[in-house]
């Protein structure tokens, strides 16, 4: 396991300033929704700036910039609580997956659309009874003439009803001894016949989750992503991308900024100490997360390191709510303006921080195995 320090170079610092100026001039909506919610128009503008798919080859709409440059942009936009949901999954994981494993036809057709901010992806991994135990997915893709027929259902699929495509993990063969055999990934056109998105309300009364049902849906053979039966390895690569970014410790960062505004005039030594402790923890997890971006840049698949970032980062995001509530002396109130309203917004979502993208217990199992303690 290797973690390495990465400070802003002058080039990264200049890019950071550019993003701040862009946000100040665009004035996007600010929200505590996951990834600030969806705004296709804002995503399109980011695409025009070359800030989506920015590490990809120019031939596929990218701008061949570094993962650390991507990191700086992501960090600044997340802190601004700008709406990133429309392009995030395509930029973070579906695009890199296609770049690595997709056919030339898939890359040419899809990557430029993601990079332009005009195409939304969702993640088709979880099913009923197959969340943590992902290898047990039961959605079946049966080979037929010219392609596959998909039968089954995905669950908790965020934003599927607003998405153009899903990358779906399906069973295409027997489980084998390791249980990881016989899984394959497919590029699913969610506008094609045979697929149905059923929205599910969450605790915050938002209808972002879906059950996505495949009614014997025909999927052409050219929609298989990577090798038949190679799905487990591919999905493991994806999870390293999904777990290590700044979105895993910045979900409640806005609360800290709001708290500082409230405390400014009246910070007691005890409050200052507590804020200092939180900021020190944030700085540490940010350091870990940036160094994972460095490992990804070198072409490694840092699954263990990503699990550590997500575990520490999401626990910190949750802790932030309680610290803010205690120090500011406010109770959450969804009807209120200011910190009380924001606290209510974040508290509704906080339980999900340590579930989505892999639960706390599952991540700790991965970490234990990774350090040889299991
Ligand atoms: C906000 C949100 C958005 C999501 N978006 C998506 C999405 O877009 N696409 C998608 O595919 N999925 C999505 N998910 C699903 C998410 O990945 C799963 O909820 C998660 O993997 C847990 O699976 P589960 O809900 O089936 O719980 P289970 O796997 O049934 O786990 C229940 C409990 O048992 C514990 N547990 C399970 N196995 C072990 C073990 N081996 N050792 C110790 N404890 C264990 C878990 O930690 C958990 O506390 C989303 C979830 C949330 C909350």
- Give, using CA atoms, the residue closest to atom 39 of ligand 1: 362
- Say whether both 201 and 175 belong to one domain: yes
- Say whether both 94 and 130 belong to one domain: no
Centroid of ligand 1 to alpha carbon of 266 (angstroms): 41
Check pLDDT > 90 for residue 7.
Answer: no
- Say whether both 87 and 143 belong to one domain: no
Atom of ligand 1 nearest to the CA of 130: 26
Domain that holds residue 78: 10-119
CA distance 118 to 109: 12
Atom of ligand 1 nearest to the CA of 365: 42
Half-sphere exposure of 48 (CA within 13 A, CB side): 7
**Does residue 3 lie within any of the structural domains?**
no
Taking residue 307's Cβ as centre, other Cβ atoms within 10 Å add up to 25
DSSP 96-123: HHHHHH--HHHHHHHHHHHHTT---EEE
- Say whether both 193 and 114 belong to one domain: no
Burial 106-121 (b: 16+ CB within 10 A, else e): bbeebbbbbbbbbbbb
Q: How many helices (H) and strands (E) does the chain have?
A: 12, 8
- Give, using CA atoms, the residue closest to atom 23 of ligand 1: 131
Centroid of ligand 1 to alpha carbon of 256 (angstroms): 27
Centroid of ligand 1 to alpha carbon of 314 (angstroms): 14
Q: What is the CATH classification number for the domain harbouring 27?
A: 1.10.540.10
pLDDT of residue 1: 46
pLDDT in tens, 311-330: 999 999 999 999 999 999 99
Average pLDDT over residues 281-309: 93
**Does residue 237 lie within any of the structural domains?**
no
- Say whether both 98 and 147 belong to one domain: no
Domain boundary residue among 119, 147, 169? 119
- Say whether both 364 and 258 belong to one domain: yes
Taking residue 250's Cβ as centre, other Cβ atoms within 10 Å add up to 23
Q: In this structure, are strands 183-189 and 224-225 parallel, antiparallel, or unpaired? A: antiparallel
pLDDT in tens, 147-162: 999 999 999 999 999 9
- Say whether both 97 and 131 belong to one domain: no
Q: What is the pTM of this model?
A: 0.95
**Does residue 342 lie within any of the structural domains?**
yes
CA distance 165 to 160: 8
- What is the widest separation between alpha-carbon atoms in the chain? 72
- Say whether both 254 and 268 belong to one domain: yes
- Say whether both 95 and 18 belong to one domain: yes
CA distance 319 to 198: 33
Burial 206-242 (b: 16+ CB within 10 A, else e): eebbbbbbbeebebeeebbbbebbbbbebbebbbbbb
pLDDT in tens, 9-41: 999 999 999 999 999 999 999 999 999 999 999
Domain count, the chain: 3
**Does residue 271 lie within any of the structural domains?**
yes
pLDDT of residue 205: 84
Burial 259-284 (b: 16+ CB within 10 A, else e): beebbeeebeeebeebbeebeebbee
In DSSP terms, 155 is beta-bridged to 211
Give the binding-site residues of ligand 1, using a 6 Å CB cut-off: 122-126, 131-132, 156-158, 352, 355-356, 358-359, 361-362, 365
- Say whether both 151 and 209 belong to one domain: yes
Centroid of ligand 1 to alpha carbon of 123 (angstroms): 13
pLDDT in tens, 323-350: 999 999 999 999 999 999 999 999 999 9
- Give, using CA atoms, the residue closest to atom 7 of ligand 1: 157
- Say whether both 282 and 213 belong to one domain: no
């Amino acid at each position: 396991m290797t973690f390495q320090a990465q400070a802003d170079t002058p080039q990264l610092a200049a890019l950071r300033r550019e993003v701040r100026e862009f946000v100040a001039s665009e004035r996007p909506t600010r929200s505590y929704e996951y990834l600030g919610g969806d705004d296709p128009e804002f995503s399109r503008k980011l695409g025009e700036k070359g800030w989506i798919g920015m590490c990809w080859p120019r031939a596929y709409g990218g701008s061949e910039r570094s993962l650390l440059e991507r990191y700086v942009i992501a960090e600044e936009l997340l802190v601004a609580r700008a709406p990133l949901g429309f392009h995030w999954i395509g930029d973070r994981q579906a695009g890199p997956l296609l770049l690595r494993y997709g056919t030339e036809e898939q890359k040419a057709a899809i990557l430029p659309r993601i990079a332009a901010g005009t195409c939304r992806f969702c993640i088709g991994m979880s099913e009923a009874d197959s969340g943590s135990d992902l290898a047990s997915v039961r959605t079946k893709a049966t080979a037929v003439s010219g392609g596959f027929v998909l039968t089954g259902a995905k669950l908790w699929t965020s934003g599927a009803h607003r998405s153009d495509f899903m990358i779906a993990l399906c069973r295409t063969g027997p489980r084998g001894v390791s249980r990881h055999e016989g899984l394959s990934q497919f590029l699913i056109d969610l506008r094609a016949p045979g697929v149905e998105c059923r929205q599910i309300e969450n605790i915050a009364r938002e209808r972002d989750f879906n059950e996505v049902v495949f009614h014997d849906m025909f999927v052409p053979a050219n929609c298989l992503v990577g090798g038949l039966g190679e799905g487990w390895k591919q999905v493991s690569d994806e999870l390293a991308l999904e777990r290590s970014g700044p979105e895993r410790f910045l979900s409640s960062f806005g609360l800290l900024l709001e708290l500082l505004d409230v405390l400014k005039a009246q910070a007691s030594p005890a409050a200052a100490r507590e804020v200092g402790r939180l900021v020190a923890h944030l700085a540490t997890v940010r350091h870990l997360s940036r160094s994972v971006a460095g490992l990804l840049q070198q072409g490694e698949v840092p699954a263990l390191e990503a699990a550590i970032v997500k575990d520490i980062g999401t626990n910190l995001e949750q802790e932030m709510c309680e610290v803010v509530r205690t120090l500011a002396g406010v109770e959450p109130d969804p009807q209120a303006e200011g910190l009380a309203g924001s606290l209510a917004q974040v508290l509704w979502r906080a339980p999900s921080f340590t579930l989505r993208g892999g639960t706390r217990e599952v991540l700790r199992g991965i970490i234990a195995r990774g350090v040889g303690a299991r």
